[in-house]
A and B are shown apart, each in its own frame.
Chain A
Amino acid sequence: MSGGARLENANPLIFQRTGERLRTANDEDEDVADPIDDREIFDLIRSINDPEHPLSLEELNVVEQVRVRVDDQENTVGVGFTPTIPHCSMATLIGLSIKVKLLRSLPERFKIDVHITPGTHASEDAVNKQLADKERVAAALENSQLLEVVNQCLISNARTG
């Protein structure tokens, strides 16, 4: 996938990393339930590696906390991501990485919707459709080459926490 020596977007803008989430007194209290919130979802996906650059999705501003919507009661999670350039061929792969990361990290009760930020990609609809199709996502992960690339996007992420 990323084998080509020529990068599509060789000189991307780099954004500041967010700091660690601050611990509150409630976090330490056994009896208080912490709801799953936007920041928690964002923390799950912000350090996913970009397939092209040695940078995280957060640093490339592909994911932002404002584009994360979670409803703990209704069991829904929505994540919008913004490819760095409108013709980015990595869009599907990035979306798939986000989806896989969330599937592995969230309770089963959640319905996960990963989509491209409206108006930021040439083939937005096609990519969104692929990502929303459970069967196609499952089939993609059967492909060991694709799974390898996805795992590599997630691997350093797991290492740095």
Chain B
Amino acid sequence: MAAGSALLVGLVEEFVSGQQDSKAADTATGLKAGQFTILQLVEALGLHLASSQPQTRARGVQLLSNVLQQCHGDLTEREVDVLLAFYENRLKDHYVITPHVLKGMKALTKCSVLPPGSAVSILKSLFQDVHVQVSTSNLPCQLKGLGADFVFGFVQSVDGERDPRNLLLAFQIARKIIHGGYDLGKFTEELFEVTSCYFPIDFSPPPNDPHGITQEELILALRAVLTGTPRFAEFLLPLIIEKLDSDVQSAKVDSLQTLTACASVYEHKELAEFLPGLWASLRREVFQTASERVESAGLAALSALTACISRSVLNSDSEDYLNVFLDLVLKDCQHHLCEPDLKLVWPSAKLLQATSTASYRASHRVAAAIMPSLIEQYNSRTQVSHTSQLGLKSSEEDESVLLDFRQSLCSIVFSALSENSAGLQITSLRVLTALSQQTVLLLESDVELAVDHLTKLILEEEDAKVSLAVVECAGALACLHPLAFISKMVPRLKGEIFSGGLGSKEHSQQAVRQRCLTALAAVSSRPSVVQESTPVLLQVLTSSHTGTGSFSLEEVISVCHNLQRIAEHAQDTEETGRVFHDIIIPRLLGLALQAASATHCNPVIIDRLTVCPGQVEVPQMDRLLLELEELSCTCDHPFSYTSAAKCYAGLVNKRPAGESSSPVAKALLLRYHPLSTALTDKLFSLLSDSELGSIAADGFSLLMSDSQDVLNRGCNADVRIMYRQRFFTENSAKLVQGFNSAAPEKKSGYLKALSHIVNYLPRQVQLTELPALLPLLLEALSCPDQAVQLSTLSCLQPVLMDPPSALITQLEALVGRTLTLTTSPAMKVRIASLRCIHALSRFPEHEIMPFRARVLRALAVPLDDLKRMVRSEAVVARNEWFLLGSPGGR
């Protein structure tokens, strides 16, 4: 023991006077080994702790705290008690000691044997003596006992805080206080005041902020506090109304979002008093809004408010606030709807819509009030915008609300359908779709009338947008009322397809057929319809093969595409499966194999097969595969052999297990098949081939991209997750290595491959990998291949938005090379490079100011570009650069 205390004195001496930090660890080890006790340590420190030099005292406390951090588990309750008393006392000491005291206290609070009641006393002394915020959140929950005193202490210590780190912490603590059920007592208002004085938060982090606290974090943290309890309502709501008067857009948006958030917590009794004020502010925001963000935030807030009042349970003696509120809304909005001056119609309609989507009762009220006048409007004056609102509105309402208006709505829709205006037709189609979703609204006769109208539009309407809307509407209706479509539309369309009147109107005839085919595909979602529609399509194929019909090649291909669409969208039931298996596939295969002499459309037909759901076993698979393999290797028609290869890939991908062009490699890669490595290695070796290098590099693009036609999830291909990332991690090193060792004239192949691979990686992966690949990518910008330039620029641009420091050191090269590309012969390269230059203007000002004059001069050239799209990018970029470093700019 004597040896122990001699050792201890030595250690203490070396730490405190000798300034050797490592001795703290040695002391802790000694303590753990039982060579001395904690109390002996305190005794040995005694002299230093009583020193007249604050630094010496600090050093002493530091040693004790360091030791405690490591040994707090070994302490007894009595020891903790004594130490706490010591530390609480030390808080009153010189400020250089405080940090060490706090560290020690923190260590002590982790003790499992913390004496009851000590947390309270710790906090009391903390609030009393410490003038900086500390993390109190990890202290045990005895705090509740402290109640209002604790809240008051908290309020006092937060007051006037400016450091964003402490604020964030303070907001989190405040939220815990609110949610943890602490007794706020008479300090409710104080707690609100001390936090709400930061609302709305206006904080822009310094450029090199190491803490990474964003304005968004602060806003959310503060919002959680303010909206945390209904007890704040009486203070918060006036504040929101006040802040909505602000000119600052972000303040408005923040206020509106806060309002939305609190509406989900509050009840009508909190809101009641402020409803007129809130409504006035909301109305003003929507009526006079300058920005869509404010407007949509305002509408969301209105919805939330309405939902909140609708949700509340009323007392027998209280007013129905919903009614009162809706009266306000209707009074202010309704008359605008009938005004010939269109200025406020739209905002009013939006407000009403927001209100009525909030709850059933609200929608009932609103619909009952405005429907009659809207219908009257329509009848007296056929105006597109009026009916548009009608359309939008009715889609939101509930069925029973509309029941009363069913008759007049239907007649409006049908009369609008026969109008000449495209906008009106589209809107009425949308209304029709909405009506059809509510089964009771459309009677059998209405549906039939609707189908007639739709058929007529398909046959006669030339406008592409209207046709699209018709097809969508028909698709939606056919899901619900297949019978009407089978009996009315399908036969009409079939007749039209085969009527084949050639003559002078051949072009329009083709267009009509196209639309018929598309419509057939669109309505085929129910098995019963599929059964009727697919034979029509197959019949077209057959007749084109036998040469009896007068179908052009495009029409045949479009038939195939539509068959594919049906296969993709039809409800995947056993019944549909059987239709495909029994009828379609055998017929298609028959057609395909019969005419394997490589006409264009054969591969297309076979293509469609690969779409079929996996469980439908394709008959004669082996024979087909052989056929395809031969086709892809021997045929010299490029379209045929690529489709054949794709097809082959599609089938291989679906094979249960076991089966050398890139599509095949891709099929395997998607499944993460072991064979794929061999194939990609082959591609790598081709990169340095002087003739095939460029094609091989493009092969990588094929490997990484989403395939449009065959190898995607829509075709039921087996796509493993993250195959791109895996491919990248496995191969990027090979690529860099290959680049470094390749002869100069062969480097471009590697650059191309790299830019293709990086371009298809998810953003997050790009951001982390880019610093390492940056030199190569900069190199790629000067590569003459336009495709390489384009894909490099497009993967650089998102990175420039949030520049890593590696980029800043390369600024000279980056600016020079992107500026050169603004005069590239390829429009897309010019656009992409201008976007990058725009992004560069967000870099820290002192880094890019030296380039300002040069960039402005260079950007004057694309202002006069041949292409408008290039000019507009140049305008945006150049104006940003003008604002840089200019007063009032940034």
| Nearest CB on B from A18, distance (A) | 14
- Stretch of B37-45, B60-68, B859-867 lying at the A interface: B859-867
Most B C-beta atoms less than 10 A away, residue of A23, A34, A104: A104
Q: Are B866 and A158 in contact, with the CB atoms below 8 A?
A: no
Nearest-CB residue, chain A, relative to B889 = A151
With A151-B887, A155-B889 already in contact, the answer to whether A105 and B247 are too (CB < 8 A) is no
- Stretch of A80-88, A106-114, A120-128, A131-139 lying at the B interface: A106-114
The answer for the CA separation of A56 and B491 in the assembled complex, in Å, is: 55
Q: A residues within 8 A CB of B346?
A: 16
Q: B residues within 8 A CB of A107?
A: 860, 863-864
Q: Are B880 and A158 in contact, with the CB atoms below 8 A?
A: yes
The answer for the CA separation of A44 and B863 in the assembled complex, in Å, is: 12
The answer for the CA separation of A130 and B532 in the assembled complex, in Å, is: 75
Whether a CB of chain A sits under 8 angstroms from the CB of B290 is: yes
Task: Count how many chain A residues have C-beta atoms less than 8 Å from C-beta atoms of the other chain.
Answer: 40
- Stretch of B301-309, B724-732, B756-764, B870-878 lying at the A interface: B870-878
Once A and B bind, how many residue pairs between them come within 8 Å at the CB atom? 81
Which of under 10, 10 to 19, 20 to 34, or 35 or more describes the interface residues of B? Answer: 20 to 34
Q: Are A147 and B888 in contact, with the CB atoms below 8 A?
A: yes
Partner of A104, one of B342, B871, B878, B890: B878
Q: A residues within 8 A CB of B888?
A: 147-152, 155
Whether a CB of chain A sits under 8 angstroms from the CB of B652 is: no
Most A C-beta atoms less than 10 A away, residue of B290, B860, B871, B880: B290
Q: A residues within 8 A CB of B889?
A: 151, 155
Partner of A154, one of B249, B872, B883: B883
Q: Are A54 and B247 in contact, with the CB atoms below 8 A?
A: yes
The answer for the CA separation of A53 and B249 in the assembled complex, in Å, is: 12
Nearest-CB residue, chain A, relative to B881 = A104
Q: Are A14 and B288 in contact, with the CB atoms below 8 A?
A: yes
The answer for the CA separation of A144 and B249 in the assembled complex, in Å, is: 25
Nearest-CB residue, chain A, relative to B867 = A34
Q: Are A59 and B290 in contact, with the CB atoms below 8 A?
A: yes
Partner of A13, one of B247, B343, B864: B343
Q: Are A34 and B868 in contact, with the CB atoms below 8 A?
A: yes
The answer for the CA separation of A44 and B878 in the assembled complex, in Å, is: 12
| Nearest CB on B from A124, distance (A) | 27
Q: Are A158 and B883 in contact, with the CB atoms below 8 A?
A: yes
Whether a CB of chain B sits under 8 angstroms from the CB of A161 is: yes
Q: Are A33 and B866 in contact, with the CB atoms below 8 A?
A: yes
The answer for the CA separation of A59 and B886 in the assembled complex, in Å, is: 27
Whether a CB of chain A sits under 8 angstroms from the CB of B869 is: yes
Whether a CB of chain B sits under 8 angstroms from the CB of A68 is: no
Most B C-beta atoms less than 10 A away, residue of A27, A108, A151, A152: A151
With A54-B247, A149-B888 already in contact, the answer to whether A30 and B879 are too (CB < 8 A) is no
Q: B residues within 8 A CB of A30?
A: 826-827, 867
The answer for the CA separation of A101 and B863 in the assembled complex, in Å, is: 13
The answer for the CA separation of A30 and B869 in the assembled complex, in Å, is: 11
The answer for the CA separation of A160 and B864 in the assembled complex, in Å, is: 22
Nearest-CB residue, chain A, relative to B862 = A107
Q: Are B864 and A109 in contact, with the CB atoms below 8 A?
A: yes
Q: A residues within 8 A CB of B882?
A: 104
Q: A residues within 8 A CB of B871?
A: 34, 36, 40
Nearest-CB residue, chain A, relative to B877 = A158
Partner of A14, one of B343, B826, B878: B343
Q: B residues within 8 A CB of A28?
A: 869
Q: Are A108 and B860 in contact, with the CB atoms below 8 A?
A: yes
The answer for the CA separation of A109 and B886 in the assembled complex, in Å, is: 25
Q: B residues within 8 A CB of A90?
A: none
| Nearest CB on B from A1, distance (A) | 11
Q: B residues within 8 A CB of A151?
A: 883, 886-889
The answer for the CA separation of A83 and B148 in the assembled complex, in Å, is: 59
Q: Are B876 and A161 in contact, with the CB atoms below 8 A?
A: yes
The answer for the CA separation of A161 and B869 in the assembled complex, in Å, is: 13
Residues 11-56 of A contacting B (Cβ, < 8 Å): 13-16, 23, 27-28, 30, 33-34, 36, 40, 43-44, 53-56
List B residues at the A interface (Cβ < 8 Å): 247, 249, 287-288, 290-291, 342-343, 346, 826-827, 860, 863-864, 866-869, 871-872, 875-876, 878-880, 882-883, 886-890
Top 6 closest A-B pairs, CB basis? Answer: A148-B888, A151-B888, A107-B864, A34-B868, A148-B887, A54-B290
Given contacts A36-B871, A151-B883, A152-B888, 20 further A-B contacts (CB under 8 A): A13-B343, A14-B343, A16-B343, A27-B868, A33-B867, A34-B867, A36-B868, A43-B872, A53-B290, A54-B291, A104-B878, A104-B879, A104-B882, A105-B863, A107-B863, A107-B864, A149-B888, A155-B890, A158-B876, A158-B883
6 contacts between A and B (CB under 8 A): A14-B287, A14-B343, A54-B290, A55-B288, A152-B888, A154-B883
List A residues at the B interface (Cβ < 8 Å): 13-16, 23, 27-28, 30, 33-34, 36, 40, 43-44, 53-56, 59, 101, 104-109, 144-145, 147-152, 154-155, 157-158, 160-161
